[in-house]
């Protein structure tokens, strides 16, 4: 809690001071409304002073008007500060998430991060508001009303205040149960978000395989679990009420017995007694809220703890303090004795290879050979455990992220488009590009033709993840984005493997333009796409087994020849079957 307040409350001190002033006014007017009961009883009903009716009525109006205005400004101030705290925390969480490497996203699913962005940031604001309002509103109100009680009758005040420690001891026993239930509730909230995300992104599979009932059952189970935990939390929170009601009733009964006897037998001031009783009754609500404070506080702190888990998770890959701007002159990419493993799973083992400038270097091999890992290391999504990766002799660990990734363009098999317009998605390659530059890139990517046929042209929406476009159209938008970036190094992960023949022809034509004059490294699953590559590296189990041109590798035999034979041995049979 100390850290929560230090990091989030400091910049809002002026606003909280104003809110505390307002809450002090609320507490003072609450005490005044109890105090004035003495004059109402004595001056109006006992002494029957007619002139005092208007004076006291006016005073009551002023008291409650002042209290209402102070309550209004207090609530507005706290709401604005609270919203600012949530926004600040969400920005901090998102910035921290963006700074993490890819392994972070493998450990934390999207649903978990979404929960921490929304629910846990809200929990932090709720805890701060709870403490502030409890101190500023409830504690001050109880102090003001207790002062009235003590002034009116010290002995009765002592009798009443004995009840409070009993209530506190009971509520303390509920805290452990609350923390356990709150943790479970957050887990199930994450499951709800995860199920919703899987259903939305995989809706085609869900419907194709008739999985609606299965997904419905999973979601219903998660919702039922959250409902169950919420009910338990409400039950525990509500347990403070019967205790406070019983103890409060006991205290009021004592006051009535003693105060009534004192007025009747000893002629005590009836106005003072009613003022005391009013203060006691008015103190009941803030006292009950204070009794629930510990339960609500620990429930909220579970979310705060999870929020700081993300903010405190170290960044596994960071820039060096003296990182330089990468300067690309030729564009030679070199990996020397590189060893890398995902946790305990080896991916690359003392691998060395070069990608020469203005040439096409292909990586082929079975799944799990480490081809995609090389791309991740070149863009420095990961760092190798051993060895070096350099561009034009500059170790990538010594250059800035921004300059490195500005010099690299990526075209993948699974094209991802952001929700927005076609123009916006192409412009991500170069944010300050003019519209003419965007159109030129689209033409070079063979995308301008289909874009012009769309209702809003370049301002047409692509839908979530590009869902309103075909696979070939998405791929050409992605190539246009890479062309606009105009980076000297190009990484391609079999960008045509999922396309039909017509789309593949258009995409391949665009890729040929894109590769011209660039250092291109391409991952190939279909060997027919890399027959013209300058150098082909054949990989298996994190090592380069063979290197050479297509013809050289076929003459050598080995793994490349085996893969080639597996892919093409049935071609004549299939062609003959088609002819029949």
- Residues 21 and 1: their CA atoms lie apart, in Å, by 23
Name the percent of the chain lying above pLDDT 90: 16
Structural domain spans, the chain: 2-174+239-312, 322-406+488-503+512-580, 408-486
Q: Do domains 2-174+239-312 and 408-486 have the same CATH topology?
A: no
Token output for 555: 């003459």
Confidence of residue 247 (pLDDT cuts 50, 70, 90): low
Give the model's pLDDT for residue 125: 85
Domain 408-486 belongs to what topology?
Answer: Rossmann fold (3.40.50)
> Quick one: average pLDDT of 227-233?
75
Higher model confidence: residue 454 or residue 415? 454
| Over residues 551-563, mean pLDDT | 87
DSSP codes joined into one string, 555-578: HH-HHHHHHHHHHHTTHHHHHHHH
- Tell me what pLDDT residue 577 has: 35
Q: What is the 3-state secondary structure (H, E, C) of 92-104?
A: HHHHHHHHCCHHH
**pTM of the predicted model, to two decimals?**
0.70
Q: Given this model, what pLDDT does residue 178 score?
A: 63
Q: How far apart are the first and last CA of the chain?
A: 78
How many other CB atoms sit within 10 Å of the CB of residue 50? Answer: 7
Q: Is residue 66 over pLDDT 90? A: yes
pLDDT tier for residue 569 given thresholds of 50, 70 and 90: low
The tens digit of pLDDT for each residue in 28-58 reads: 998 898 888 888 888 877 777 878 888 988 9
CA distances from 201 to 111, 311, 473, 528 (A): 13, 28, 19, 32
- Name the percent of the chain lying above pLDDT 70: 86
Please, what sign has the CA dihedral across residues 473, 477, 482, 486?
positive
**CA 54 vs CA 38, 42, 147, 278, 537: distances in Å:** 16, 15, 27, 21, 98
Most confident of 196-200, 497-501, 523-527: 523-527
Q: Is the pLDDT of residue 164 over 70?
A: no
Q: Among 113-127, 224-238, 478-492, which is the least confidently predicted range?
A: 224-238
Helix, strand or coil, per DSSP, at residue 179: helix
Alpha-carbon gap, residue 563 to 574, rounded angstroms:
18
pLDDT band with cut points at 50, 70 and 90 for residue 395: very high
Kindly report, residue by residue over 309-324, the tens digit of the pLDDT: 888 888 878 888 889 9
- Note the pLDDT of residue 531: 80
Distance CA 234, CA 228 (A): 10
Beta bridge partners of 360: 520
- The topology (CATH level 3) of 322-406+488-503+512-580 is Rossmann fold (3.40.50)
Q: Find out whether 30 and 282 touch, Cβ atoms under 8 Å.
A: yes
Determine the pLDDT at residue 574.
40
Determine contact, residues 522/494, Cβ cutoff 8 Å.
yes
pLDDT at 91 over 70: yes
Are 388 and 394 in contact by the 8 Å Cβ rule? The answer is no
To which H or E segment does residue 185 belong?
helix 175-201
Q: How many CB atoms lie within 10 A of CB 402?
A: 12
Residue 244: pLDDT over 50: yes
pLDDT of residue 526 exceeding 50: yes
Band of pLDDT at residue 390, cut at 50, 70 and 90: very high
| Residues paired with 493 in a beta bridge | 523
Query: Does the pLDDT value for residue 119 go beyond 60?
Result: yes
Closest CA to 399 of 415, 388, 410, 409: 388
- The pLDDT of residue 572 is above 60: no
- The whole-angstrom separation of Cα 9 and Cα 117 is 19
CATH topology of domain 2-174+239-312: ABC transporter transmembrane region fold (1.20.1560)
Looking at residue 141, its pLDDT comes to: 87
């Amino acid at each position: 809690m100390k850290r929560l307040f230090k990091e989030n409350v400091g910049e809002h001190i002026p606003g909280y001071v104003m809110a505390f002033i307002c809450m002090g006014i609320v507490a003072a007017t609450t005490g005044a409304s109890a105090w004035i009961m003495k004059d109402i009883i004595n001056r109006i009903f006992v002494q029957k002073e007619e002139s005092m009716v208007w004076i006291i009525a006016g005073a009551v109006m002023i008291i409650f008007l002042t209290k209402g205005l102070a309550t209004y400004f207090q609530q507005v101030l706290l709401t604005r500060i609270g919203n600012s705290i949530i926004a600040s925390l969400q920005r901090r969480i998102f910035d921290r998430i963006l700074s993490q490497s890819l392994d972070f996203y493998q450990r934390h699913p999207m649903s978990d991060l979404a929960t921490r962005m929304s629910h846990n940031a809200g929990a932090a604001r709720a805890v701060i508001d709870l403490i502030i309002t409890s101190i500023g509103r409830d504690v001050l109100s109880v102090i003001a009303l207790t002062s009235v009680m003590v002034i009116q009758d010290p002995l009765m005040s002592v009798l009443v205040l004995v009840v409070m420690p009993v209530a506190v001891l009971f509520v303390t026993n509920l805290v452990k149960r609350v923390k356990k239930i709150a943790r479970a509730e957050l887990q199930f909230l994450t499951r709800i978000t995860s199920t919703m995300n899987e259903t939305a992104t995989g809706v085609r599979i869900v419907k194709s395989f008739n999985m609606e009932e299965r997904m419905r059952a999973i979601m219903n189970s998660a919702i039922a679990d959250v409902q169950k935990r919420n009910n338990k939390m409400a039950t525990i929170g509500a347990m403070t009420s019967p205790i406070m009601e019983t103890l409060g009733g006991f205290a009021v009964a004592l006051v009535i017995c003693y105060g009534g006897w004192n007025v009747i037998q000893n002629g005590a001031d009836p106005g003072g007694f009613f003022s005391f009783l009013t203060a006691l009754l008015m103190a009941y609500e803030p006292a009950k809220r204070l009794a629930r404070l510990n339960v609500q506080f620990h429930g909220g702190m579970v979310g705060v703890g999870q929020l700081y888990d993300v903010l405190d998770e170290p960044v596994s890959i960071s820039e060096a303090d003296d990182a330089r701007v990468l300067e690309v002159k030729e564009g030679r990419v070199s990996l020397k004795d590189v060893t890398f493993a995902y946790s305990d799973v080896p991916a690359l083992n003392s691998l060395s290879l070069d990608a020469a400038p203005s040439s096409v270097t292909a990586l082929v091999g079975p799944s799990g050979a480490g081809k995609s890992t090389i791309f991740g290391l070149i863009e420095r999504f990961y760092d190798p455990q051993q060895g070096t990766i350099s561009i034009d002799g500059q170790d990538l660990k010594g250059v800035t992220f921004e300059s490195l990734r500005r010099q690299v363009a990526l075209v993948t098999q699974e094209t991802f488009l952001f929700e927005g317009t076609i123009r916006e998605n192409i412009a991500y390659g170069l944010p300050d590009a003019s519209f003419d530059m965007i159109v030129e890139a689209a033409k070079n990517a063979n995308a301008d033709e289909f874009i012009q046929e769309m209702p809003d042209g370049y301002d047409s929406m692509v839908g979530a993840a590009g869902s309103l476009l075909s696979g070939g159209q998405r791929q050409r938008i992605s190539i246009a984005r890479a062309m606009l970036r105009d980076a000297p190094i190009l990484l391609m992960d079999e960008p045509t493997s999922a396309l039909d023949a017509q789309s593949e022809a258009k995409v391949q034509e665009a890729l040929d333009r894109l590769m011209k004059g660039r250092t291109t490294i391409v991952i190939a699953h279909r060997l027919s796409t890399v027959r013209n590559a300058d150098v082909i590296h054949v990989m298996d189990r994190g090592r380069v087994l063979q290197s050479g041109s297509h013809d050289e590798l076929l003459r050598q035999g080995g793994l490349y020849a085996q893969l080639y034979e597996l892919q093409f041995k049935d071609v004549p049979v299939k062609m003959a079957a088609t002819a029949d």
